[in-house]
Amino acid sequence: MDNGDIESGEEEFHGQRGRKYRPVEAHDRAVLEMSSMDPGASSSSSSVPPISLKNVKVDSQTGTETDGNSPTRIEVDGPQRESKLEFFGFDSLVNILGLKSMMGEQIQAPTSPRDGENISITQGLPKTTEVKSGTLMGVFIPCLQNILGIIYFIRFTWIVGMAGIGESLVLVSFCGLCTFLTSISLSAIATNGAMKGGGPYYLIGRALGPEVGVSIGLCFFLGNAVAGALYVLGAVETFLNAVPAAGLFRETVTKVNGTTVAAPIQSPSSHDLQVYGIIVTILLCFIVFGGVKMINRVAPAFLIPVLFSVVSIFLGIFVARKNDPSDGITGLSLESFKENWSSDYQMTNSAGIPDPLGKVYWNFNALVGLFFPAVTGIMAGSNRSASLKDTQRSIPIGTLAATLTTTALYLVSVLLFGALATREKLLTDRLLTATVAWPFPALIYVGIILSTLGAALQSLTGAPRLLAAIANDDILPILNYFKVADGSEPYFATLFTAFLCIGCVIIGNLDLITPTVTMFFLLCYAGVNLSCFLLDLLDAPSWRPRWRFHHWSLSLLGASLCVVIMFLISWSFTIVSLALASLLYYYVCLRGKAGDWGDGFKSAYFQLALRSLRSLGASQVHPKNWYPIPLIFCRPWGKLPENVPCHPKLADFANCMKKKGRGMSIFVSILDGDYHERVEDAKAACKQLATYIDYKRCEGVAEIVVAPTMSEGFRGIVQTMGLGNLKPNIVVMRYPEIWRRENLIEIPTTFVGIINDCIDANKAVVIVKGLDEWPNEFQRQYGTIDLYWIVRDGGLMLLLSQLLLTKETFESCKIQVFCIAEEDSDAEGLKADVKKFLYDLRMQAEVIVITIKSWDTQVEGAQPDESMEAFTAAQGRIASYLGEMKAAAKSRGTTLMADGKPVSVNEQQVGKFLNTTLKLNSTILRYSRMAAVVLVSLPPPPVDHPAYFYMEYLDLLVENVPRLLIVRGYRRDVVTLFT
């Protein structure tokens, strides 16, 4: 019987008994808080019906499709033939194969990637609205431009002079191995399906979840923005060294100490670096505003001089002779090679010039931080993933080719530079590459400037697109300003990136910027490696990357190298970067919108749950490890507003059964009818119930069961719900207070049947009386929690009272335990035993022993009006019902029948039950009228008694008690004395 049954039965009850059923209204206090809840649209209303092929004709002459009303026929080059597609269910494949868009129908695009990213094939063929890039222009050249930049041209020779050839080879190999392993992980993830814009952010977010993805993605965005400033400063410094007359301010003169011939070294003014850097940044932004098409046209103009510069440097190395073209140049000399093999770490001034009185001391760790930006840039291609023709082919080939090419170039350059000049020359000539270049050394300055500008251009191109991709995912509302439509340029994100870049340019010192860039890039690389490690280790069915050369151990090694390099560079910068990422993670968890991207953590949780379930086995859980898993029976004994799928206070009570929110609740509702007819209704109801659970902030799941009757549905639930030891162990439901008042005569049979099913299935039962008055989390209660511990229940009633005390609502209450004793028993001894038992259970409660003698006294003189009046009324109703049963049995000539089965009624036993419940009700009213909650044992339904009689017993038991929990344990202990 559901709400519809109640509605349809109102007129019948009104006509038969003269009383009308009053449903729970929307303005009732118990449901006011749910009145504004939006449970979400029904799945049936929002779904698009499948298109049948029977109404589609294909014209063999034109190839166009037309709608028709003819039966299932398709015209193809000849006479019409009957289509058999429907027989195999192929009409539904029209959606799956994306044929809707081919038929000219308009498909509504998802509002954000989280709304439809995993069903892209159901949205038809993609529309190509912009020119896509290939492997060379889309990945290889951007990566090459980012990797081969300022560090190689104006810092690499100095690094060789400081670290020596041996440690420089180790340095290059160490950093190159890190990026190489990261490239392998990147290739594996990028080839595991279609990839949208956002590059590494998209990959990390979909593998490790939106929180981790956004936090690392924002750090990577900052790293790209700061890297753009690094490259701009390098270009400006090279230009001012090549053309000193272009300086607007007075140059800084630094005297070189510790050299054979002391000579002043001039370096550009910091103000010149700032002014020219701001101008260059603005000019690059105008190019970026032109879009990817303009950037692809400009990129070769930046790259060709770079390649020419590298060739000129190598030619100059081979043609150089001693002191030619400058003092300190030895040419390729074995003597210089041996002299420069070992390291020579020393103090330098802020410009990097050796000075015994300098404030900066260089070692291998510091050089890692200085050199690592020279191997970054492997993400430049993936940053533009939305502009690539084939991401699964271009990203692996282009990224690995650029990584191996530049690493080989660095290793060869270490050997050649180490054998080319003296250590003094390597440490003092900041532009040694331009000094040795041949045949036109002056053109090398142009090549260096264009290479750094090209790297800056790629950084300023990738960073805004990364920020726009994060904003488009609609996770952080604060980033909504940077959203862009598909195919549009991220202008606001570009402006924001330009302001960040200009701010870093104003700082002006490269050596202060490079550690910051390094940390952000390493954090991103570690995220990519961890993503591949997690996906490879879990090996979910959806993990099928086209790139085969990967293994979880390589990804773990790559992530470990990233972390090691971070701490080698600077433990303080590492802590700062990790703290920033953690703050962003916390902010996303706090303010971000929840979403399920099918990330690796979800798969890990699933694997962990399976393993835990297997480890639990099917044996009973030890009392020390027992957790309540309530099955919340949402089927109300009454009517609720349409947008309220469950009584609003049931979730509040379910939360009270958990300690600090730990545990799981299963909210179940039953729909009457045939499953095939009501399957869509069940889906919509399940979605509505899940929304209700989220609204009430209750950890639980929603389940809807379709069954012919309520009793059959519940019997199926109690047998099959759950897995192993994760089955629900407590059934929670509302007490049907309206059953007699509203003439709902079906309720007693159903209610008693549910209790008997729970007893047979060994489930505990908690029935809440006065649910409308149950307090929410903001209504603090005072007074006592009274337990009438009559039947041994394994300690469930005691445990429930302790769980209530853990909630702020009941934390000010005290527990009272009432024990019923025989008249001639030792009441004091019983009290001492119970107190000792509670002490061993670590429970604080006041123990009150009530003997039968004092009980009789209470019945005679306590509350005669209330209890005796209810007792007399119950006797009269039972007698009337029994008379009707006897009359019906006599007319049929059979035995007494009730609830569809024969019963035997012992009137003396009925009276005994009524007297017992009367005495207990009188006792509760005497001692616990002002209690916050009363807990009493649930008596089992007597065998062969009609359900109507049992409901009368319970009604008499709960009469005039405003808030009552009727509890029945099951055949096992839930508390233990032992540690």
User: Rounded distance, CA 953 to CA 944, Å?
Assistant: 14
Mark whether 755 and 890 lie in a shared domain: no
Let me know if residue 165 belongs to a domain. yes
Calculate mean pLDDT across residues 30-49.
Answer: 44
- Assess if residue 663 is contained within a domain: yes
Which residue, 209, 177, 189, is CA-closest to 536?
189
Spatial distance between the Cα atoms of 414 and 152, rounded to a whole number of angstroms: 11
Whether the predicted pLDDT of 574 surpasses 80: yes
| Residue 30 confidence (pLDDT) above 50 | no
pLDDT single digits (tens) 609-641: 777 777 666 566 666 666 788 898 887 676 777
In contact, 560 and 185? CB cutoff 8 Å: no
Cα–Cα distance for residue pair 613/510, rounded to 1 Å = 55
Q: Does the pLDDT of residue 64 top 80, yes or no?
A: no
pLDDT exceeds cutoff 50 at 36: no
Can you give the pLDDT at residue 266?
61
Which among 24-38, 196-210, 608-622 has the top mean pLDDT?
196-210
158-186: average pLDDT: 94
Q: Where is pLDDT greater, at 70 or 621? A: 621
Predicted pLDDT of residue 563? 94
How would residue 251 be classed by pLDDT, with cut points 50, 70 and 90? Answer: low
Residues 794, 862 within the same domain: yes
Its domain, for residue 860, covers 787-978
The total domain count for the chain is 3
Mean pLDDT in the chain? 77
Condensed to tens digits (0 to 9), the pLDDT of residues 690-736 reads 888 888 888 888 999 999 988 898 888 888 887 777 788 889 998 88
| Strand blocks (E) in 582-707 | 630-633, 665-672, 700-707
pLDDT, average across residues 242-248? 79
CATH of the domain at 734: 3.40.50.620
What is the pLDDT, as a whole number, of residue 60?
39
Q: Would you say residue 27 lies in a domain?
A: no
Query: What element of type H or E holds 956?
Result: helix 947-958
- pLDDT score at 832: 85
Q: Are 736 and 922 in contact (CB under 8 A)?
A: no
Is the same domain home to 711 and 579?
no
Tens-place pLDDT, residues 169-182: 999 999 999 999 99
pLDDT in tens, 102-151: 344 443 443 344 434 443 333 444 444 456 778 888 888 888 877 887 78
Q: Same domain for 802 and 757?
A: no
Q: Please determine, for residue 467, whether its predicted confidence score (pLDDT) is greater than 50.
A: yes
Residues 574 and 509 in one domain: yes
Is 87 contained in some domain?
no
Q: Give the pLDDT of residue 497.
A: 92
Residues 765 and 806 grouped into a single domain? no
- According to the per-residue pLDDT averaged within each range, which of 58-62, 403-407, 690-694 is highest? 403-407
Strand locations in 182-285 (E):
252-255, 264-267
- pLDDT category at 446 given cuts 50, 70, 90 is confident
Instruction: Tell the residue number behind the tokens 């950890």, with chain if given.
Output: 699
- Kindly state the DSSP code that residue 933 receives in the 8-state scheme: E
Q: What would you measure as the largest C-alpha separation in the chain, in angstroms?
A: 130
Q: How many other C-beta atoms are found inside a 10 Å radius of the C-beta of residue 927? A: 19
Task: Please determine, for residue 398, whether its predicted confidence score (pLDDT) is greater than 90.
Answer: yes
> Which residue among 572, 591, 610 closes a domain?
591
Q: What is the pLDDT of residue 163?
A: 93
CB of 974 within 8 A of CB of 827? no
How many whole angstroms separate alpha carbon 390 and alpha carbon 139? 11
Same-domain status, 422 and 459: yes
Q: What is the CATH number of the domain that holds 357?
A: 1.20.1740.10
pLDDT attached to residue 396: 92
Q: What is the DSSP string of 346-388?
A: -EE-TTS-B-TT-SEE--HHHHHHHHGGGT--TTTTGGGGGGB
Banded model confidence at residue 559, pLDDT cuts 50, 70, 90: very high
Whether residues 435 and 486 fall in one domain:
yes
Q: Is residue 584 part of a domain?
A: yes
| 762, 799: one domain | no
**DSSP secondary structure letter of residue 935:** E
If asked whether residues 370 and 227 sit together in one domain, one would say yes
In the block, tokens 């209790």 appear at: 755
E runs forming strands in 841-932 = 846-851, 897-898, 901-902
pLDDT given for residue 503 in this prediction: 87
DSSP classification of residue 552: H
Place 44 in a pLDDT band, splitting at 50, 70 and 90: very low
- pTM comes to 0.65
Please answer whether residues 248 and 292 qualify as being in contact, where contact means their C-beta atoms are separated by less than 8 angstroms.
Answer: no
Q: What is the pLDDT of residue 625?
A: 60
Show which of 769, 799, 819 is a domain's final residue: 769
Q: What is the pLDDT of residue 927?
A: 87
Q: pLDDT per residue over 8-22, tens digit each? A: 344 433 433 333 334
Shared domain check, 335 and 200 = yes
Q: Which of 379, 591, 596, 577 is nearest to 480 (CA)?
A: 591
Domain boundary among 769, 798, 833: 769
Residues 472-498 have a mean pLDDT of 86
pLDDT of residue 594: 63
Strand pairing partners for 850?
Answer: 820
535, 189 in Cβ contact below 8 A? yes
Model confidence band, residue 558 (pLDDT cutoffs 50, 70, 90): very high
If one compares 622 and 518, the residue with the highest pLDDT of the two is 518
Instruction: Write down the pLDDT at residue 618.
Output: 59
In a domain, 763, yes or no: yes
516 and 473, same structural domain?
Answer: yes
Question: Whole-angstrom Cα distance, residue 531 to residue 206?
Answer: 9
Give the C-alpha separation, 294 to 301, whole Å.
Answer: 12
